[in-house]
Amino acid sequence: MDAEIITPSGEIPTTQVIPTTRVTPTTDEALAGLDALESTARARTSVGRRALTAAWPRLLALVIAVGAWQVLVWSGWKPEFLLPGPRTVGRALTDLVGDLDFWRALATTLRRALAGFGLALVIGGLLGILVSASSVLRRAIGSLITGLQTMPSIAWFPLAILLFQLTETAILFVVVLGAAPSIANGVISGVDNIPPILTKVSDVLGARGIRRYRTIIIPAALPSIIGGLKQGWAFAWRSLVAGELLVILADRPSLGARLQFAREFSDAPGLLALMIVFLVIGLFVDAAFGAVDRRVRRRHGLA
């Protein structure tokens, strides 16, 4: 090609001839081409591979932690009947899993946690929606909600016991008080952070009232709401275990009560085994929230 353009004298021509017939592709063809060029295919890694990449650092950390624990026991820092080694605790854990009473206690604790969290979800969710919708309400109790969130929930127990005696209600009261402010705050900040363009569009579309909340506001605030729920759960779970140490009901075994008994009977292996149970439950719930969170963020195009 180049050779044809260069003239015999070796000069490069300064002007090129513009073709008289123009090739004009149709709009449709051009659009289809652009769409194809600009659509990106997302690379997907297999589930197995992802699980493996996620698992090995955790396994390694676990091995190191258990190893350090064993070393601490071997060092003789505390006598073994106070600080038993991993193997003794492992045996206690096996015993625990074979014990029907343990499962009954676990059921009680989980039922309380779910009831408290569920109620906190309803109360905190409604409160959050009301406060985010009304500027008067926000000025009135907005900072109070944040204040409540920082209050150590165990500080509520003396009052709860005065009000409701040693009952399920006392525990429920504190669990709800622990979790609801976080959930409400999650809703409020989620609604506050909705991009203005989306609220403008919902005005234009004529979205009003409950339907506006159901179809636009709540879904738009969902990533932040999930954050609030996660934090609310953490507070609920902590309040619950603290409450179960204090409010021990006869013929109603719970994990907290068992933990308290283990201390009273100096059953160190049993005590540590129960603590591992708490840890595992916490990890499971956290993983569940993490999965929901990732799913929502992907839907929203945030991840």
Q: Residues 6 or more apart from 191 whose CB is under 8 A from it?
A: 128, 129, 132, 133, 217, 221
Site for other proteins in 14-53 (CB under 8 A): 27-28, 30-32, 34-35, 38-40, 42
> Quick check: 162 binds other proteins (CB under 8 A)?
no
Site for other proteins in 222-241 (CB under 8 A): 222
Q: Is 208 helix (H, G, I), strand (E, B) or coil?
A: coil
Which positions from 167 to 196 touch other proteins by CB under 8 A, shown as an x/- string?
----------------------------x-
Rounded-to-integer distance, Cα 170 and Cα 168, Å: 5
From 105, 107, 127, 125, select the one nearest 115 (Cα to Cα): 107
Main-chain phi, psi angles of 40, to 5 degrees? -100, 135
Site for other proteins in 89-118 (CB under 8 A): none
First to last CA, the chain: 48
Q: Taking the complex as a whole, how short is the minimal distance between the CB of residue 20 and other proteins, in angstroms?
A: 16
Q: Taking the complex as a whole, how short is the minimal distance between the CB of residue 296 and other proteins, in angstroms?
A: 8
Site for other proteins in 119-148 (CB under 8 A): none
Positive or negative, the CA dihedral 287, 290, 295, 296 is: positive
Q: Which is nearer to other proteins, 2 or 29 (CB)?
A: 29
Return residues touching other proteins (CB under 8 A): 27-28, 30-32, 34-35, 38-40, 42, 195, 197-198, 200-201, 203-207, 211, 215-216, 219-220, 222, 296, 299-301
